[in-house]
């Protein structure tokens, strides 16, 4: 799938990319057309593989080249050529920046203009001081509150409402979506790698996808993806002040209470319920029909149909057995 918002400046020769990484040149000096994650990579793409937890995806990747380690390369298909690196993630970030140089910064969008000067004023109800950027699409029967900014690269479906003081960028918003006051959606995620005496920011070339019939509570933030997308499933409701980091995938029919935080690249199944002020660590998989008690800290995968609570989160029966004070009246 072609990136909808960020311009790919490739292709580049493989040896050109290796030279920028200070790695040894290859005898296979083919043209590399794009950089993708393991799942979405295609022929002539370059990808990365840095942890054994992604071995299943590595075995089936269609990428022609993969930045990885000596220990992990055996998991890759024979058709995928390994590029051995001691700093897989940092090298991938460098290559991503070469292909997508405009994805690194999120400066204010100077293309925005007052909605009154655009064609949107004919079919959108809007408050005061609403600004609209370039490459924006808005469906029918939509409402935008006071002081909101729809920056460049946004598509909004039908019957949507955007509250006041909202900022949206690099996002695909489907139908019947309600985004309440003070949300920030589609800005770059918090991705850094130490590089000598500085921190190298990882380019964020993904988007935010919010599917039909969802609600995003006041003051929530949803970061766009890095190489993949950040996705909110259909019929999912997020309470106030929730943070969703880059690449997080939330399934359908989920209910998430206030002040919950999701670290990057975590995945939630369908019909998940999470109590307030819980935290989910990065790169975890939460199954279908899972219930997580308020204030819990999730630091490992949770299978389908489990109820957990506590820090670290454990089976709720075990938690209550070990913490009998919890059920006693004050």
Q: What does the DSSP 8-state code read for residue 298?
A: E
Residue 271 in contact with residue 289, Cβ under 8 Å? yes
Q: DSSP letter string over 210-238?
A: E-SS-EE-TT-EEPPPSSS-EEE-TT-EE
Residue among 165, 157, 154, 173 at smallest CA distance from 127: 165
Cα–Cα distance for residue pair 111/163, rounded to 1 Å: 21
Residue 154 in contact with residue 137, Cβ under 8 Å? yes
Torsion sign across C-alpha atoms 304, 306, 309, 312: negative
Residue among 119, 149, 154 at smallest CA distance from 135: 154
Return the half-sphere exposure (C-beta side, CA atoms, 13 A cut-off) of residue 131. Answer: 17
Q: What does the DSSP 8-state code read for residue 305?
A: T
Annotated active-site positions, please? 246
Cα–Cα distance for residue pair 53/59, rounded to 1 Å: 12
Torsion sign across C-alpha atoms 39, 42, 47, 51: positive
3-state secondary structure (DSSP) of residue 90: helix
- List residues bridging with 69 in a β-sheet: none
Cα–Cα distance for residue pair 149/125, rounded to 1 Å: 14
């Amino acid at each position: 799938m072609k990136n909808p918002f960020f311009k790919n400046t490739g292709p580049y020769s493989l040896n050109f990319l290796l030279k920028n990484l200070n790695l040894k040149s290859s005898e296979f000096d083919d043209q590399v057309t794009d950089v993708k994650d393991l799942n979405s990579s295609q022929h002539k793409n370059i990808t990365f593989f840095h942890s054994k937890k992604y071995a299943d995806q590595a075995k089936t990747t269609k990428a022609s080249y993969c930045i990885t380690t000596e220990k992990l390369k055996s998991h890759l298909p024979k058709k995928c050529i390994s590029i051995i690196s001691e700093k897989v993630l940092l090298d991938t970030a460098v290559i991503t920046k070469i292909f997508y140089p405009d994805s690194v910064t999120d400066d204010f969008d100077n293309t925005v203009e007052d909605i009154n000067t655009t064609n949107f004023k004919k079919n959108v109800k809007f408050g005061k001081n609403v600004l609209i950027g370039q490459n924006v699409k808005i469906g029918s029967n939509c409402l935008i509150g006071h002081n909101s900014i729809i920056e460049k690269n946004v598509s909004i479906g039908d019957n949507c409402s955007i509250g006041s003081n909202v900022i949206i960028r690099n996002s695909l918003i489907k139908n019947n979506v309600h985004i309440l006051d003070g949300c920030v959606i589609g800005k770059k995620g918090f991705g850094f790698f130490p590089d000598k005496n500085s921190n190298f920011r990882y380019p964020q070339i993904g988007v935010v996808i919010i599917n039909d019939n969802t609600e995003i509570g006041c003051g929530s933030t949803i970061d766009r993806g890095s190489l993949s997308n950040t996705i909110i499933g259909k019929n999912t409701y997020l309470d106030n002040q929730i943070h969703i980091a880059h690449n997080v995938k939330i399934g359908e029919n989920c209910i998430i209470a206030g002040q919950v935080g999701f670290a990057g690249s975590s995945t939630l199944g369908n019909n998940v319920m999470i109590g307030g002020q819980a935290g989910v660590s990065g790169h975890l998989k939460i199954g279908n029909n899972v219930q997580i008690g308020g204030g819990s800290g999730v630091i490992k995968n949770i299978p389908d149909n489990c109820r957990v609570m506590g820090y670290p989160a454990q089976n709720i029966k075990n938690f209550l057995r070990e913490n009998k004070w919890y059920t006693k009246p004050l």
